[in-house]
Amino acid sequence: MANTVVVASGKGGVGKSTLTAGLGRAAAAAGKKTLLIDCDAGLGCLDILFGRTADCAFNWMDVYEERCTCEDALIHLEQHLWLLPVPRTLVIDFPEDAISSFVEKYGEDYDLILIDAPAGIGSGLKRAAKAAQRAVVVATPDAVSVRGAWAVARLLTQEGIKEARLIVNRFDYKAVRKKKLFNVDSAVDQTAVQLIGVVPEEEKIITSSVTGKQLKKSSSAVRAFARIERRIAGEQVTLKASYLK
Ligand SMILES: Nc1ncnc2c1ncn2[C@@H]1O[C@H](COP(=O)(O)OP(=O)(O)OP(=O)(O)O)[C@@H](O)[C@H]1O
Ligand SMILES: [Mg+2]
């Protein structure tokens, strides 16, 4: 069975979809067969981040309601990397097992499945969590986002997630030094979630979301994704000391 991880946050816009795409690319680059499931019904964007919107003929509701096969819906993004697209129209309270039944039926084909959840603690998150064993909770280093991460981690535990880990995204050392943002220690303390990694603020992430082009391998964000992906796979990878200053 694939290692199935839901990517969640309390507050919106903290980088869940960006990290899902980045971690997926990192896992695929390491030779792991990886599936990304966009679970943000009505507001999904993974197709945009990979520049593949035109190829989204079907989505997971079509598979669930047997309008197409699994193969019809899946998009082969890159070597070792696939996307299961999301319905483009808003589907509130879609069937509880729409995602989990897909993972149960087809999950064995993959080494890693990353589920990009909608922001918040609503029914969409619960449906995404039902399909996963583990979670990464994303927070930016500010008070509002960190409180959201604390709340979401509690809910995920109630929903049966066995292990939740924190990613601090958009880390900016200059702002931390000027005490304009939380340092990593404060984010961990206030979410009460164990850290799995830190992703730096990287201006080119925003432009790559417009062009659909990959960031360079030398980019600090891409290197951070690769380290976090290895930790998700169970490897011991030390945290860069500069994140802990
Ligand atoms: N490390 C980063 N450095 C710079 N910009 C970033 C970083 N991570 C994410 N962003 C930018 O932040 C914005 C929000 O990112 P994203 O859409 O991934 O968030 P999200 O949590 O999925 O949002 P939503 O809750 O709406 O689904 C995007 O413009 C993205 O390019
Ligand atoms: Mg998103």
pLDDT at 15: 97
pLDDT at 134: 98
- Note whether 38 and 84 are within 8 A (CB): yes
pLDDT at 19: 98
Atom of ligand 1 nearest to the CA of 201: 3
pLDDT at 173: 87
- Note whether 242 and 173 are within 8 A (CB): yes
- Is the Cβ atom of 15 under 6 angstroms away from ligand 1? yes
Residue 190 lies in a domain: yes
Q: 205, 210, 215, 222: which to mutate for ligand 1, most atoms within 8 A of CB?
A: 205
Looking at every residue in the chain, the average pLDDT score rounds to 94
Residue 243 lies in a domain: no
pLDDT at 93: 80
Q: Which pLDDT tens digit goes with each residue over 219-240?
A: 999 999 999 999 999 999 998 8
Residue 245 lies in a domain: no
Residue 156: burial class (beta carbons within 10 Å; 0-12, 13-18, 19+): buried
Residue 67 lies in a domain: yes
Q: Ligand 2: distance of its center to the CA of 23 in Å?
A: 14
**Hey, what are 45's tokens?**
């964007």
- The DSSP symbol for 241 reads G
Among 15, 45, 3, residue whose Cα is nearest residue 225: 15
- Is the Cβ atom of 13 under 6 angstroms away from ligand 1? yes
pLDDT at 176: 84
Residue 241 lies in a domain: no
Q: Total domain count for the chain?
A: 1
pLDDT at 21: 97
For the chain, which ranges sit under pLDDT 70?
Answer: 245
Q: Ligand 1: distance of its center to the CA of 215 in Å?
A: 14
Residue 244 lies in a domain: no
Residue 242 lies in a domain: no
pLDDT at 40: 94
**Domain with 182 in it:** 3-234
Q: Ligand 2: distance of its center to the CA of 44 in Å?
A: 6
Residue 125 lies in a domain: yes
- Is the Cβ atom of 119 under 6 angstroms away from ligand 1? yes
- CATH code for the domain of 8: 3.40.50.300
pLDDT at 208: 85
pLDDT at 178: 85
Please enumerate in sequence order all residues whose Cβ is within 8 A of that of 238, keeping only pairs 6 or more positions apart, or say none. Answer: none
- Note whether 2 and 111 are within 8 A (CB): yes
